[in-house]
Chain A
Amino acid sequence: MPALAAGLSIGEYARSLVRRLAFLSSVLVAAIWALSGQGYFWPAWVWLGLGDLVLLDFSASWAWRQQRGAVRRVACVWALVGAAAVILIFTWLLTWLLAGAQRFWPAWALLGLATSGSAYSLIALHDRVLVARGRRALRARIDLLTRTRRQAVDAQAAELRRIERDLHDGAQARLVALTLQLGRAELRVQDQPEIRGLILDAQREAHHAITELRDLARGIVPPLLADRGLVAAVESLSARYGLGTAIDARTRGGLAPAIESAAYFVIAEALTNTVKHAGASSSWISLVDEHRSLLVVVGDDGRGGADPLGSGLAGLRARVEALDGSLYVESPRDGGTVLQARLPCAS
């Protein structure tokens, strides 16, 4: 079977065989008619029958190639309607050619076929049109929500940095100016211990306020992160923990404040856990731009067994997920801990 050797399936082979047989039969009946003394051209009817077969085969296979479901059902209906219409028209054409002119009798049948085909299509595809419209609306809604959430997160990060700056340069700076004035006043009342004591008390209070403001500002955005960016802040952070952490920073910088803050707090939490729980002898941090995301990995070779549902990690996950990022923690017992956060950078 040469066709099978050419890679056709049995079904396709059968169909091509049918087409060839139909062609051969048409030629054969024409030859028989010619040899048997001609007269009334009856082979035309044989041709019509064989042609119908081939036509049905083509239209059915076209319909079957359509998408499953409603579209395919509608295609099947139109394949039948089309084939029937062609058959009707050709039958009329043959009777007209062979038996002489007469009125176009298939007109009503064609009209009926077209009407019922259209009606069926409308009913079958109506749901589909509605669903497609709904899906489009849903997608637009998701796009809008994603965009506005990102804007909200960015605006919040920018606002937090503004607050941090205001705390430093506003309230805190004024308190510093206040302690300076109190200091100058204190110099003038050396001989009045009671007043001097009051001034020193006031100064102590101002100092507490300054310290509290500084801690508050640091908790909002670490000043080095605001001033020098992520890599400098992470270097300072790891120096403060004194773990001798190896840092591999391959990021071009220019990250959105929200991304920088999230990455920073992921690293800070991971290093805190390393110091508190891991008993590690070495640790590492990597910051890499990858597929329009910032990939943050913090690992240690400590005792592992971190609870990924613990409050610290759960808080981090919420923070990362608000940026459409993801957080993975791998911490087998006695197998070290690796924390990986992927933070997509909006283009």
Chain B
Amino acid sequence: MRVVIAEDLALLREGLVALLRESQIEVVAQVEDGPSLLRAIAGHKPDLAIIDVRLPPTYSDEGLLAAIEARRRQPQLGVLVLSQYVETAYASELIGGDTAGIGYLLKERVGDVRAFLDALHSVAGGGTVLDRQVVAELLAPRNGATEALSGLTAREQEVLALMAEGRSNTAIAESMIVTPGAVEKHITNIFAKLELPACNDDHRRVLAVLTYLRVSR
């Protein structure tokens, strides 16, 4: 896997580079702002870009805009956006029409190295990874627009949240301390309750999470 990193804080950037090299992931370029990110992507044609939301010069949402632009130019590129805070509005903008190869995580998730590397592979492979905080916000009880999800039990919502983080069934089973068989049963129930069309399972997993995004917008 070939990766470009856009992060302005040297300490974190170097940590990420070291971590990826240790994990046999090739870092082809490290940049500090949006325009150089776009140049690096055009030049190196990486599989994945890891992008900080706040980049110079204004430190607001350049990273997000650069990620969206990079995807527009190169739709098969996986982008993993890291942020100090999560906004469901940003998640919606980032996903736009196409959910494949999109990740949006809180920065501190890099600390859980194994889960972070899983997320990298998942996004580079066309998966969708949303931070559990975004998912929690999306699943929070509210007055309208929740009929689609109101039928889910608490346990099923928990499974849905973990699915949205890009975890495998085995990982979900481990974290909930249940058998993989029980997780599969929950997932089948979720698909049924959300009336998702029968297609490949990975795609349905993403659709399950995004059902809420669509309904709530």
Instruction: Type the 1/0 row for A225-241, where 1 means its CB is closer than 8 Å to any CB of B.
Output: 01110001001100111
Cβ 8 A contact of A173, one of B12, B22, B113, B140: B12
Q: Which of A5-13, A99-107, A182-190 contacts the other chain? A: A182-190
Q: A186 contacts which chain B residues (CB < 8 A)?
A: 113
Distance (Å) between the CB of A301 and the closest chain B CB? 13
Do B107 and A173 have beta carbons less than 8 Å apart?
A: yes
Question: Nearest chain A CB to B60's CB is how many angstroms away?
Answer: 4
Task: Provide the residues of chain B in CB contact with A241, threshold 8 Å.
Answer: 142
Interface of chain A residues 201 through 221 with chain B (CB within 8 A): 203, 206-207, 210, 214, 217-218
Contact B143 A214 (CB under 8 A): no
A165, CB-defined interface residue at 8 Å: yes
Taken together as a complex, chains A and B put the C-alpha atoms of A206 and B11 apart, in Å, by: 16
In the complex, A173→B60 CA distance in Å?
A: 15
Give the chain B neighbours of A218 by CB distance below 8 A: 85
Inter-chain contact A236/B89, CB cutoff 8 Å: yes
User: B19-49 CB contact bits vs A (8 Å, 1 = yes)?
Assistant: 1001000000000000000000000000000
Are A181 and B145 interface neighbours, CB within 8 A?
no
Within 8 Å CB of B174, what residues of A? none
CB-based contact A169/B59 at 8 Å: yes
Complex Cα–Cα for A236 and B59 (A): 19
Cβ contact within 8 Å between A244 and B113: no
Closest to B110 in A: A180
CB-based contact A206/B111 at 8 Å: yes
For residue B5, give the distance in angstroms from its CB to the closest CB of chain A. Answer: 12
Q: A174's contact among B11, B141, B146, by CB below 8 Å, is which?
A: B11
- A181 pairs with B15, CB closer than 8 A: yes
B108 touches A228 (CB 8 A): no
Determine the chain B residues whose CB is within 8 A of the CB of A207 once the complex forms: 108, 111
Note all chain A residues with C-beta closer than 8 A to B112.
Answer: 183
Are B144 and A176 interface neighbours, CB within 8 A? no
Interface range on chain A: under 10, 10 to 19, 20 to 34, or 35 or more? 35 or more
Partner of A183, one of B11, B110, B145, B146: B110
A182/B111 in contact, CB under 8 A? yes
CB distance from B51 to the nearest CB of A (A): 15
A203 to B116, CA, bound (A): 15
Cβ–Cβ contact A173 & B84, under 8 A: yes
User: Interface size (B, Cβ < 8 Å)?
Assistant: 34
**Most chain B CB neighbours (cut-off 10 Å) among A175, A180, A210, A232:** A180
Output the least CB separation between B47 and chain A (Å): 21
Q: Are B12 and A176 in contact (CB under 8 A)?
A: yes
B89 and A180: CB pair below 8 A? Answer: no
Q: Is A177 an interface residue (CB 8 A)?
A: yes
Q: How many A-B residue pairs have CB under 8 A?
A: 102
Given A168-B54, A242-B144, are A227 and B111 also a contact pair (CB < 8 Å)?
no
Residues of B within 8 A of A183 (CB): 19, 110-113, 116
Beta-carbon contact of A180 and B84 below 8 Å: no
Does the CB pair A180–B111 fall under 8 Å? yes
Chain B's nearest CB lies how many Å from the CB of A271? 12
Q: Is the CB of A184 within 8 A of B22?
A: yes
Selected from A175, A187, A217, A235, the residue in CB contact (under 8 A) with B108 is: A175
Given A173-B84, A206-B111, A224-B89, verify A180-B15 contact (CB < 8 Å): yes
Looking at the complex, which one of B12, B22, B85 makes contact with A214 (CB distance below 8 Å)?
A: B85
Interface residues of A in 152-173 (CB under 8 A from B): 165, 168-169, 172-173
A223 on interface, CB distance cutoff 8 Å? yes
Indicate if the CB atoms of B85 and A177 lie closer than 8 Å: no
In B88-142, which residues have CB < 8 Å from any A CB?
A: 88-89, 107-108, 110-114, 116, 137, 140-142
Does A179 touch B at the CB level, under 8 Å? yes
A76 adjacent to chain B (CB < 8 Å): no
The smallest C-beta distance from B131 to any residue of chain A, in angstroms, reads: 13
* B87 interfacial by beta-carbon distance below 8 Å: yes
Contact of B54 among A169, A174, A239 (CB under 8 A): A169
Binary contact track A245-258/B, C-beta < 8 Å → 1, others 0: 00000000000000
Is B184 in the interface zone, CB < 8 Å from A?
no
CB-defined contacts of B11 to chain A, threshold 8 Å? 173-174, 177
B196 to chain A, nearest CB (A): 23
Q: Which chain B residues have a beta carbon within 8 Å of chain A's beta carbons? A: 9, 11-12, 15-16, 18-19, 22, 54, 59-61, 84-85, 87-89, 107-108, 110-114, 116, 137, 140-146, 216
A-B contact pairs, 26 of them (CB 8 A): A168-B54, A169-B9, A173-B107, A174-B9, A176-B107, A177-B12, A180-B15, A183-B110, A183-B111, A184-B18, A184-B19, A186-B113, A206-B108, A214-B84, A218-B85, A224-B87, A224-B89, A235-B89, A239-B216, A241-B142, A242-B142, A242-B143, A242-B146, A243-B142, A244-B143, A244-B145
Chain A residues packing against B (C-beta within 8 Å): 165, 168-169, 172-177, 179-184, 186-187, 203, 206-207, 210, 214, 217-218, 223-224, 226-228, 232, 235-236, 239-244
Closest 9 CB pairs of A and B: A242-B142, A179-B111, A227-B60, A183-B113, A180-B15, A177-B11, A177-B12, A244-B144, A168-B84
